[in-house]
Amino acid sequence: MTPATRCRAGTDPLTALRAPGDPPWDVCLTGTVFLDIVFTGLDSAPVRGTESWARGMGSSPGGVANMAAALARLGLRTLLAAAFGDDHYGEYCWDALEQGEGIDLSASRTVPGWHSPVTVSMAYEGERTMVSHGHEPPPEAVLVQQGAPGFPPPARAAVASLTPGRRAPWIARAARAGTRIFADVGWDETGAWDLRGLADLEHCEAFLPNAEEAKRYTGAPCPREAAHALTEHVPVAVVTLGSEGAYAVDRRTGETAEVPAIAVEALDPTGAGDVFVAGFVTGSLAGWPLADRLAFAGLTAALSVQEFGGSLSAPGWSEIGAWWRRVQSVEGQDPAALRRYAFLEGLVPEELDRPWPLARAVPTIGFRRSG
């Protein structure tokens, strides 16, 4: 099955750009897949010595799977290179990603005898607390997660999670081949916050840290100043501002953009950062203006937090279209706010093929599909 036929049916944001000889994949990814078990509806953080009951629960592939599913649901041809355990958890994650989301796993491998990593996420008060467990991966799992020789294959873009003090050789290989690299970063446990430690940043087109990470890496007093400082190291800097939205600077064009966050009732923020990056990558590959890319990324992230689960809460074009039609029908909407998202008009499907909102994480992995 070709990447084109594996891609989920629906809106293709790159239709106008596709041509013979294009790379077979729009985005390639590598990393660790977790089984995420998410508890929601907790009134407060669990208290030692007591039992807490959650009003909601979901299971879904997590880790790098959050990003892969978000990209695939936005219509991008997505390749994932990852190691999967040969337990039931790994089998469930493989099936959910390949059969459920149309993600190409031809570069992934099942590792015999390896226990799938697991994360339990507890969502409360708009935040989350996570507990993870995993066994030391065998050499073949490490090789797949860090990018085996020959990875990545030709692709329009790749998303990399940078690790302070460590290079990932596949990033330089991809950049030399013309792949556009979009990077995020996790919390620097060393406390150094030294941009020189993010050696692969030199190969990246865009860097998307949150406000606290951006300030710590640059020493700037505010995240907007930090974004400008980051463009000394990478062409495009995007800093997420939490409830304030996001701010971006493109050194090449001189563009700056700031888009406020969309007010929603957040059920579970798990994976929202990955969905934001997926939305920004989609708009970038489609050639949209910086402000449209930023608005779209914020919208997709906002829609994702209204459902529980990381990868399986990412919105597709039907959900995006339903949101756009609903906000247009509400009386008293700010005309300027509607104009901010007017670029969606030519993108969302004319007929919606599923209801919205739609919960797609399921309470347990024990059920089998009917029929």
Please check the confidence at residue 369 and state whether its pLDDT lies above 70: no
> Both tokens of residue 189?
């446990």
Contact 60, 311 (CB under 8 A): yes
Cα torsion through 354, 358, 359, 360, rounded to 10: 30
Phi first, then psi, for residue 161 (nearest 5°) are -100, 110
pLDDT per position as a tens digit, 78-97: 999 999 999 999 999 999 99
Q: What is the pLDDT of residue 1?
A: 32
Nearest to 267 by CA among 345, 199, 357: 357
Q: What is the pLDDT of residue 263?
A: 74
Considering only residues 360 and 350, tell me which one the structure prediction assigns the higher pLDDT. 350
* Closest CA relative to residue 273, chosen from 227, 310, 222, 306: 310
Asked if 57 and 3 touch (Cβ cutoff 8 Å), the reply is no
Residue 264: HSE in the Cβ half-sphere, 13 Å Cα cutoff: 23
CA distance 209 to 207: 6
Q: Which 8-state DSSP code applies to residue 369?
A: P
pLDDT band at 8 (very low <50, low <70, confident <90, very high): very low
pLDDT at 312 over 80: no
Arithmetic mean of pLDDT, 324-335: 80
Predicted confidence (pLDDT) at residue 354 exceeds the cutoff of 60: no
Which range among 240-254, 306-320, 353-367 has the greatest average pLDDT? 240-254
304: left (phi over 0), alpha (psi -120 to 50) or beta: alpha
Q: What is the pLDDT of residues 210-255, one digit of tens each?
A: 999 999 999 999 999 999 999 999 999 999 998 889 999 999 999 9
For residue 337, pLDDT beyond 70: yes
Per-residue confidence (pLDDT) for residue 359, from 0 to 100: 45
Q: What is the mean pLDDT of residues 131-150?
A: 76
Average the pLDDT over 315-342 and give the result: 84
Residue 35 near residue 59, CB atoms below 8 Å? yes
Strands 127-133 and 118-124: antiparallel
pTM: 0.89
Confidence category of residue 364, pLDDT binned at 50, 70, 90: low
Residue 133: pLDDT band by 50, 70, 90 thresholds?
very high
Residue 5 has pLDDT above 60, yes or no: no
